[in-house]
């Protein structure tokens, strides 16, 4: 059987790092150790290797995400690839995955993976996750399922997955929904299929979209500070079902009066933000002001979506429908 042609993009992260035996510090290596591990995977697929940068994931910005997107599109058009695997640091892996899910218009499997333990630690999970990701990428069943995240024998969608533990190898979970499939010794098994897909065409990432987390006693000082910094949009992780302390209302109004879109998500681990409560600062009042409620995204994903939507030319009036999906 002819092997599928898979693009592998190494970007750095713990999967490419090693632990200093004297200090215990985990640091990037000069040569990504995953490149030498490709020999173990050549029996599975025909690999095209790219390593545009070796960065810890806190160093990844939307500009690197856009570069990865453009690299994938280039190889789809020129190399006729049938799947993509991306090794990535876990801290911002979910954001890169969602960015690609919204911007790469293709049915081929695109799979992100990483590691929680560095390459020379006992119990290194990187190579196993890498092999699992390739196995998913060559699976016919993985097509038309959007961008996927594969670690610890589980397959998650880019939209729902999030990092839930600082160090555990089972850190990636999809609250409320769970994984859509599993990796087994004998094959790849999917038991759910995403029903929604949306794509945006962007060429640049220039917009400024900060993220704030609401807290007890929060006032308008941070909102006023953002107002004078010429931001293009704002995400707020609100309390409960979508509520804010009343002292934030003057700042919220000031931003909205400048036509700066504000999107509300919940800071809760489960559930969605809704305009339920009618007291001062409650969701109903915020909705009447013109605050947009997001249907289930966490703060970091909502930020990626608002940035991309604004970059693609969506108007403020179109944004409520964008975040209703």
Give dist(CA 157, CA 147) in Å, integer.
Answer: 6
Angle between helices 62-78 and 93-103 (to 10 degrees): 50
- The DSSP output letter for 134 is H
How many beta carbons lie within 10 A of that of residue 55, not counting itself?
A: 18
Per the annotation, the verdict on 14 as an active-site residue is yes
E strand residue ranges, 178-261: 181-183, 188-190, 211-213, 234-238
The strand pair at 234-238 and 147-151 is best described as unpaired
Across the chain, where does the E strand assignment appear? 5-10, 17-19, 26-28, 46-50, 83-87, 110-113, 147-151, 154-157, 162-163, 172-173, 181-183, 188-190, 211-213, 234-238, 262-266, 292-293
104-121: b (≥16 Cβ within 10 Å) or e = bebebbbbbbbbbbbbeb
DSSP β-ladder status, 17-19 and 26-28 = antiparallel
| Annotated active-site residue in 11, 14, 90, 248 | 14
Q: Return d(Cα 203, Cα 206) in angstroms, integer.
A: 10
Whether the Cβ atoms of residue 180 and residue 193 lie closer than 8 Å to each other: yes
Q: Return the H-helix or E-strand segment holding 257.
A: helix 249-257
Q: Catalytic residues, which ones?
A: 14
């Amino acid at each position: 059987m002819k092997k599928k042609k898979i693009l592998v993009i190494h970007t750095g992260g713990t999967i490419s790092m090693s632990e200093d035996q004297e200090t215990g510090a985990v640091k990037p290596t000069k040569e990504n150790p995953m490149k030498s591990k490709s020999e173990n995977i050549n029996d599975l697929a025909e690999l095209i290797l790219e390593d545009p940068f070796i960065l810890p994931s806190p160093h990844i910005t939307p500009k690197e995400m856009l570069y990865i997107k453009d690299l994938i599109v280039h190889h789809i058009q020129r190399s006729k690839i049938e799947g993509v695997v991306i090794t990535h640091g876990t801290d911002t892996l979910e954001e890169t995955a969602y960015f690609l899910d919204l911007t790469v218009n293709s049915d081929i499997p695109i799979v992100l993976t990483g590691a929680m333990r560095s390459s020379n630690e006992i119990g290194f999970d990187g190579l196993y996750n890498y092999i699992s990701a390739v196995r998913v990428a060559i699976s016919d069943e993985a097509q038309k399922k959007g961008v996927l995240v594969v670690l610890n024998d589980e397959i998650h969608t880019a939209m729902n997955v999030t990092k839930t533990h600082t160090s555990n190898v089972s850190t990636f979970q999809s609250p409320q929904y769970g994984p859509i499939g599993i990796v087994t010794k004998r094959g790849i098994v999917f038991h759910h299929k995403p029903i929604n897909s949306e794509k945006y065409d962007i060429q640049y990432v220039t917009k400024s979209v900060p993220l704030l987390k609401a807290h007890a006693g929060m006032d308008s000082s941070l909102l006023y500070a953002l107002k004078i910094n010429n931001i293009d949009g704002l995400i707020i992780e609100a309390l409960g079902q979508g509520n804010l302390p009343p002292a934030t209302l003057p700042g919220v109004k000031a931003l909205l009066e400048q036509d700066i879109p504000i999107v509300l998500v919940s800071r809760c681990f489960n559930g969605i933000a809704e305009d339920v409560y009618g007291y001062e600062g409650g969701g109903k009042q915020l909705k009447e002001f013109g605050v947009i409620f997001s249907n289930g995204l966490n703060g970091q994903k909502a930020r990626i979506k608002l940035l991309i939507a604004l970059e693609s030319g969506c108007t403020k009036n179109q944004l409520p429908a964008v975040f209703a999906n």
